Structure 1
């Protein structure tokens, strides 16, 4: 059943090591990321996000600078499912930029440094989007929003077949070791 299928985030979280980060720092980072995602999703949907806390101003300004390049929004934080591999995921955005008719899957990030698992995450989300729509994404990646409001850094991932394979191997390992019979 779909509600029991593991999410992309759940599968990959097994391979994340946050043991060297103090719990209070990790909690603040998670809260910041959630709030920034919510505000950016509101902006992408055309809603005014209301007042933005001072400590998030830079991230939101950074997103707005990038979002001004968007011509069309195809998807915003919609849960997608793969009935063959039986996993789900909720990509942040799929958009078309001005002057480019290709869909781009964008995963918003607030950390300053790239994460090792991000390429597999993006590939899994691209796969889910293709399962739902039949459309291929091009030039997908993570958009690292700047805390000081500068234009965000875009990390494009081009090895989607290898990255998807890595995710599917992680999914297999997750099912073998984590799921109950």
Structure 2
């Protein structure tokens, strides 16, 4: 049973895949190479931020990533928190989707889910994505009090924090996106009848 579940989980869509059609709105006129470079930079920045959260010293950082890391370090220096989890994948086996969180921290007596963003523009998709992640985490038994985005600055300055408290409407939006995904895009599971 456990092996069957692990195999099934490999086919679960990620939260980012489910919200993808709407999270990319406004990017259609941006050169694909520019988007690919931004995606690669974001991946590098996330890896370095995780290493810093885990207490590692990073001796050298790519020049294009450095301002974002400086921005993250400003946030870390101004906030007292205890890291609980970082870069962990969670699953919803009933609704069959998955998501990987950036970090969960204990801060001011609250359990907060943070997502790190390197994009210059705030997205309406962010709270929807974080609400789906909070749902996944709560299925695992951890209560999330608040979710927030740390929007790092390419100038190296203090990041902008976007805090989202009431997740009810965002939860409804994600449920609708998941229903649409299931209807239009999810691959049918094979049965013995097929």
TM-score above 0.5: yes
Greater C-alpha radius of gyration:
2
Query: How many angstroms does 1:58 deviate by?
Result: 1.1
Output one character per residue of 1:112-170: Cα deviation in whole Å (capped at 9) or x when no partner: 221111110010011111111x2322231111011122111001112311111211211
Moved more, 171-180 or 10-19: 10-19
Residue of structure 1 equivalent to 2:66: 57
Does residue 117 of the first structure (1) align with residue 125 of the second (2)?
yes
Output one character per residue of 1:57-80: Cα deviation in whole Å (capped at 9) or x when no partner: 111011111123142111101000
Residue of structure 1 equivalent to 2:178: 171
How many Å separate the matches in 2 of 1:131 and 1:79?
Answer: 12
Runs of 4+ in structure 1 displaced over 3 angstroms? Answer: none
Structure 1 unpaired stretches of 5+: none
Does residue 137 of the first structure (1) align with residue 144 of the second (2)?
yes
TM-score, structure 1 as length reference:
0.93
Query: How many angstroms does 1:24 deviate by?
Result: 1.5
Task: Indicate how the Cα distance of structure 1 residues 77 and 70 shifts in structure 2: closer, same or farther if over 3 A, else same.
Answer: farther
Q: How many residues align?
A: 178
TM-score, structure 2 as length reference:
0.87
* CA RMSD in angstroms, aligned pairs only: 1.3
Q: Residue 32 of structure 1 aligns to a residue in which SS?
A: helix
Matches for 1:139-158 after TM superposition, within 5 Å: 139-158=146-165
